[in-house]
Structures are given as C-alpha cells and as structure tokens.
Amino acid sequence: MHGILKAVLAAAAVFAIGFHTSTMYHDIYGEDRWGPPLPTRSVLLAFGDSHTQSGGDPDAGGYVARLAYHYHNKMDVVNRGFSGCNTSRALDIAPNVFAEMAGAVEVCILFFGTGDAMVGPSAQHVLLEAYRANLGALVGVVNSVQAEYGLPDTRILLVAPPVAHDGMARAAAKQDAGLGFVRAASVRAYAEAAVAVAEEMHLPVVDLHTAMDAAVKAKNNAQSRYGGYEEYLVDGVHLTPAGNRLVYDLVVDKIKTAWPALP
C-alpha cells in the first residue's frame, strides 16, 4: 500500500511540473503546446563596433547582455558587434549579417561612429560625409533584406557614439597605441551627424553623447581626475559597467516610446 501511494504522489508531481511548464510556455509564446518545436521568434539585432562587442559581456554589465535578459520572453537578442569596425566595413558585411537572420529582425540597433571618428592616419577613420552616407546606406541594406522576404521594414534605432575623453585616451595610449587617434571634438561631430541622419530619415535615435555629457555634469565631479567621465569610460573611449547601463536604459526607453506596440 505504501508503494502504491509513493507511485501516485510521484505521478502527481510529474503532472504538476508538466502543467507548470505548459502554462509558462503559453504565457511566453501565446499558444498551448507541451514542448518543442518552438515557434520562430523575432530578433533584436545589435549591430555595431567594439561598444557592441563588449556589450555582450555580462561580467562587464554589457548593454547587449542586459537587453537579452530584459527581452528574454519576447525577442531573441543577437549580438553582431565587431571591434574596430567602422561604417565602411559594416556596409561590406551587412548583407551577410542580415541574411543570416532570414527576415526575423524585428528591431535593429545600429551603433557606429567611434571608430569612424578616429583621426588619420588611423585605418578606422572615415570622412564625416562618408560616415553620414554610410549610415543611410546601412538602413537601406536592412530594409532590402526584409523586402526579399516580403516583410515590412525593420524598426531601426540609431545610437550616436558616446563621449570620448582626450586626457584618458592619451594616458591609455601607452598600453594601446590605437587610442592615440582619439579626439573628443571629432567624436562629438560624428555623434551630431548620427543624430542628424536619424532625423533626416525619420528614425528614432539615442543621443548617447549628449546624455553622457549631461549625466557627468549633473553629478558635478569636476574635481575628479577626469572630470567624472571615468565613471562611464574605461580608457577615454570604451564603456564601463555604468556606461553600459546608461546605453541600456536609453535604448529600452527609446524602444518603448518609439514602438509602444512591441511586447
């Protein structure tokens, strides 16, 4: 009798687990199904340079890693960040990047500009007008891939490059010579260009450069070694966990306001 009772209790436990799993699946995917195959999921694609590549690092509080957790029941977040990538190189690889998603890209973040703004003779440097043209061309590539699948245009969000800090970059250039090509004024001009392109194309944009400047000035850390920018920048260029958190907060807020119908 005792053995029969144990068997009944075990069966009840298995049923409860299965029921919970089915209910959770329904909550996520909106349909009754007990397991695989899973339906095709929409993709949020983050396409960018080293800010996006390192943004996938959860140990560094990367903004892409945060987005993956935030949207884990809604969209699959895919990181296609490439260190050293400028908009010219991005145009070369963009058709393959988007083709591999087979038209599933619901939202695309385009986050370029820091490398383009490096002053010559850096190999990453792209002339300002070419940078503007390249951003527009990238938008065209995204939507041409969608059109091949008979799908509507992807929701595209531009992110302007963050602030660069000359003093921090010069100090860091002793270990990374490439940082010697960083100029704060140049990066500012490219950030302004990214915002202008977004406005001309009627696209939402995260003006990260202005937001970071405002965040630093609001904390009034002028007496710190680098004026408070060290909270957001590791080496005058790349983002700290706090810098990544700022990107994440701004991106999530912009997606909510630009496309409120998204899950």
Span 201-211, pLDDT tens digits? 999 999 999 99
Predicted confidence at residue 3, as pLDDT, reads: 54
Same domain, 79 and 203: yes
Mean pLDDT computed over 112-118: 97
Q: Name the E strands within the chain.
A: 43-48, 76-81, 105-111, 155-159, 205-206
Same domain, 118 and 88: yes
CATH at residue 66: 3.40.50.1110
Predicted confidence at residue 66, as pLDDT, reads: 98
Q: How far is Cα 257 from Cα 192, in angstroms, rounded to an integer?
A: 21
Mean pLDDT computed over 130-144: 95
Position 101 confidence tier, pLDDT thresholds 50, 70, 90: confident
Q: What does the chain come to in residues?
A: 263
Using the CB atoms, write b or e for 210-227: b if 16+ within 10 Å. Answer: bbbbebbeeeeeeeeebb
Residue 7 confidence (pLDDT) above 90: no
Span 198-240, pLDDT tens digits? 999 999 999 999 999 999 999 987 788 899 999 999 999 999 9
Same domain, 12 and 47: no
Beta bridge partners of 157: 109
Predicted confidence at residue 148, as pLDDT, reads: 84
Predicted confidence at residue 4, as pLDDT, reads: 53
Same domain, 232 and 143: yes
Same domain, 19 and 95: no
Mean pLDDT computed over 113-125: 93
SS3 of residue 163 by DSSP: coil
Q: Give a yes or no: residue 226 inside a domain.
A: yes
Predicted confidence at residue 193, as pLDDT, reads: 98
pTM above 0.75, yes or no: yes
Q: Give a yes or no: residue 263 inside a domain.
A: no
Same domain, 33 and 154: no
Residue 31 confidence (pLDDT) above 60: no
Same domain, 28 and 82: no
Q: Give a yes or no: residue 174 inside a domain.
A: yes
Mean pLDDT computed over 241-263: 96
Sequence-distant (6+) residues with CB within 8 A of 185 are none
Q: How far is Cα 221 from Cα 144, in angstroms, rounded to an integer?
A: 46
Same domain, 31 and 96: no
Same domain, 21 and 119: no
Question: Do the Cβ atoms of 190 and 126 come closer than 8 Å?
Answer: no
Q: How far is Cα 44 from Cα 255, in angstroms, rounded to an integer?
A: 11
Q: Give a yes or no: residue 85 inside a domain.
A: yes
Same domain, 102 and 139: yes
Question: Do the Cβ atoms of 256 and 263 come closer than 8 Å?
Answer: no
Query: Number of structural domains, the chain?
Result: 2
Same domain, 158 and 33: no
Predicted confidence at residue 158, as pLDDT, reads: 98
CA triple 103-107-109, angle to 5 deg: 115
Q: Taking all residues of the chain, what is their mean pLDDT, rounded to a whole number?
A: 87
Domain that holds residue 17: 1-39
Same domain, 154 and 244: yes
